[in-house]
Amino acid sequence: MKISDILNEEGIHISFEVFPPKTDIGFQKVLEATDRIAELNPSYISVTYGAGGGTSKNTAKIAAHIKEDLGVESLAHLTCASSTKKEVQAVIENLKSLGIENILALRGDIPEGMVFPSEDRYHYAFELVEAIRRSGNFCIGAACYPEGHVENEHKADDIRYLKQKVDSGVDFLTTQMFFDNDIHYNFLYRIREAGITVPVLPGIMPITSAAQMKRSQELSGTVFPKRFLSILDRFGDYPEAMMQAGIAYATDQIIDLLANGVRNIHVYSMNKPGVAVKIMENLSEMVKC
């Protein structure tokens, strides 16, 4: 089933994310985590894609397992910056052969030392979107950045590029993580004014350790509100307390989104089924409303 159809259905839709191992050694462990998350009956589970296509084989295998064996819809990530157009096309064809209907199209990070752009690689995500659209009847998702993409100096340029990407054939968007909901609401206003009307899923990342916070900031450049920094200062040295506080903070974000009419939410739970379980327990009655 296409995710665009799921998002148009009545009710609340909560989805989760897993990432495949870089080697086959950890494959079974990731499958076990994925199986536990699937027991929560999410609207779908997304599967990330390693830099340079390093996990492309396992991304496809896990996405197929989610869809065929677990009965949950899956979303396979696909990045293009560090792979040739031919390599990208081979991945698309493989996903098609496995019956995967949903792809999240991403440019991805540029590997250090690689000459970019080059003629045999896609330069922008919208080019990948166009390639996927030409290759089959896929539902295509893409990323957006409420605080602006780190490579764009002006937010107006960021929205202009996002509009170009959506117009190339994107069916829905998922935001980069954010920790202040007002940033998301302001972003929605700006993109709707720009004529971007596809569904937008806020991406919520439960931060459960100080190390995870540091890594998240390095990757996304996101701004942490004072309220969250106070939580980190108080509980960062106590792993179990920080875990509990991080889940509570993410839950509070989701509750506020639901109260303001947001029906579709993506949780970056990664390979932490315990985090996903706690969040769904916290929302058990609200998702029925």
Among the residues of the chain, which ranges form H helices?
3-7, 27-38, 56-68, 85-97, 125-135, 155-167, 181-193, 210-220, 226-235, 239-259, 273-282
Catalytic residue among 9, 10, 17, 153: 17
Q: How far is CA 137 from each of CA 2, 23, 102, 130, 169, rounded to the nearest angstrom?
A: 10, 31, 9, 12, 11
281 assigned to active site? no
Query: Which residues have C-beta within 8 Å of that of residue 27, sequence separation ≥ 6?
Result: 20, 21, 58, 61
Rounded CA-CA distance 60/47 in Å is: 8
261 within 8 A of 181, measured Cβ to Cβ = no
DSSP-derived pairing of the beta strands 264-267 and 200-204: parallel
Residues annotated catalytic, as ranges = 17
